[in-house]
Amino acid sequence: MDTVTHEVLDHLNLGILIVDEKLKILFQNRFMLRFIKRHSEDRKCGSLPELIPGFNSPYFQISLMDALEQGHSLFFSAAMHEKLIDSREKYNIRVTRFMEEDQKRLLLEFTEVTDSFERIRQLRESISQLRLLNQELKQKEKAIQSLAYYDQLTGVANRALFYELAEKFLRAAERNHEVLGLMFIDVDNFKQINDTYGHEAGDKVLVQVAGILTAATRRNDVVARYGGDEFLILLPQINAPDNYKIVVSKILQAKRDAIVCNGISVEICLSVGVSFYPQDGDSIDQLIVKADRAMYIAKKQEGDNWYYPAENI
């Protein structure tokens, strides 16, 4: 090899290695020096497997022999053979056979691809950061949605959600000729509890009431806090006329001793008024007004009570 060629090969940013049929190294350019262990200064360093022991494995032996015999090119990707070269840097290796006189030779080109790996690592990292960010945003969105639709104290639906669902239920009832029930519930002794034990105790009572109502209703019923100590319940698909009575009796039979403070328990008294679509009105507001009125009639009586106008006629 003349000196110019040699010089040029030494300046390539690419490892060049030429081996003979026995994989003995005939030439290597300066780039390849990085694979030689420090203590060895000798540029002519034995065989390919001595330089890179990974080439001893059956896959490489078979592939290299096949390349020598058949003359086909080979490609070894850094990703598939991470352990081949013992360094932080990664290399793709391309192998081509050529003939020198009548001798078979293999040319091995080592291309460094460490940067690609690094870029991909960074890309993956930013993808996973984006994913985390996305998850956070989704959680926040959920939180915001629940702020908008749920009562923060009791966790049941707030007015906004109540009206949204009520409209839907009402339309469904119209469409399917079904009965939609509405209950208006008020805590009789709420003002008294508040005045005697303080607002914190009042809050505890409201939470308890929400729990009682939720437990007494069916899965598709909607319990909502209408405001103050007033709750509403939507009862879609009340098919048998007495179905709602089961819900009412569940509410009235529930254990209603609320621990308000310092071990003092107070019994919660509830009044319930009921109205129905279509008998009592064909809008939610009409139904609320009717149920509210019924509730007031119930309240006038002593203790827990429920009232439905039609039953009074």
The verdict on 296 binding other proteins (CB under 8 A) reads no
Q: Which of 76, 184, 197, 308 binds other proteins (CB under 8 A)?
A: 76
Which residue, 34 or 72, is less far from other proteins as judged by CB?
72
**Binding status of residue 129 toward other proteins by CB under 8 A:** no
Q: How far is CA 96 from the centre of its chain?
A: 50
Short-list 188, 153, 184, 189, CA closest to 274? 184
Length of the chain: 313
Query: What's the rounded Cα separation, in Å, for the pair 250 and 223?
Result: 14
Kindly state whether residue 117 participates in binding other proteins, applying the rule CB under 8 A. Answer: yes
- Identity of the residue, 66 or 257, whose beta carbon is nearer to other proteins in the bound complex: 66
Cα(121)–Cα(260) distance, integer angstroms: 58
- Under the criterion CB under 8 A, does residue 70 sit at the interface with other proteins? yes
Task: State yes or no: residue 113 binds other proteins (CB under 8 A).
Answer: yes
> CA 22 to CA 20: how far, in whole Å?
5
Contact between 73 and other proteins per CB under 8 A: yes
The residue among 78 and 284 lying less far from other proteins, judged by its C-beta, is 78
In this complex, which beta carbon is closest to other proteins, that of residue 63 or of residue 146? 63
3-state secondary structure at position 61: helix
**3-class secondary-structure state, position 229:** coil
- Residue (of 29, 23, 111, 25) closest to 68 by Cα position: 23
Q: Which is nearer to other proteins, 115 or 257 (CB)?
A: 115
Distance of CA 274 to the CA centre of its chain: 41
Applying CB under 8 A, which of residues 116, 145, 265, 301 lies at the interface with other proteins?
A: 116
Which residue of the set 151, 186, 188, 229 is catalytic? 229
- Residue 259 phi/psi, 5° resolution? -75, 115
Is 42 designated active site?
Answer: no
Give least dist CB 1 to other proteins, A: 25
Q: Is 211 exposed, middle or buried (0-12, 13-18, 19+ CB in 10 A)?
A: middle
Nearest Cα neighbor of 106 from 9, 12, 20 is 20
Q: Is 156 in the site for other proteins (CB under 8 A)?
A: no
Q: Please report whether residue 127 would count as binding other proteins according to CB under 8 A.
A: yes
At closest approach, how far in Å is the CB of 168 from other proteins?
Answer: 34
Cβ atoms of 39 and 26 closer than 8 Å: no
Q: Tell me: does residue 14 bind other proteins (CB under 8 A).
A: no
In the complex, the residues that contact other proteins under the rule CB under 8 A are 57-59, 62-63, 66, 70-82, 92, 94, 113, 116-117, 120, 123-124, 127-128, 130-131
Q: Would you name the residues annotated as active-site residues?
A: 229
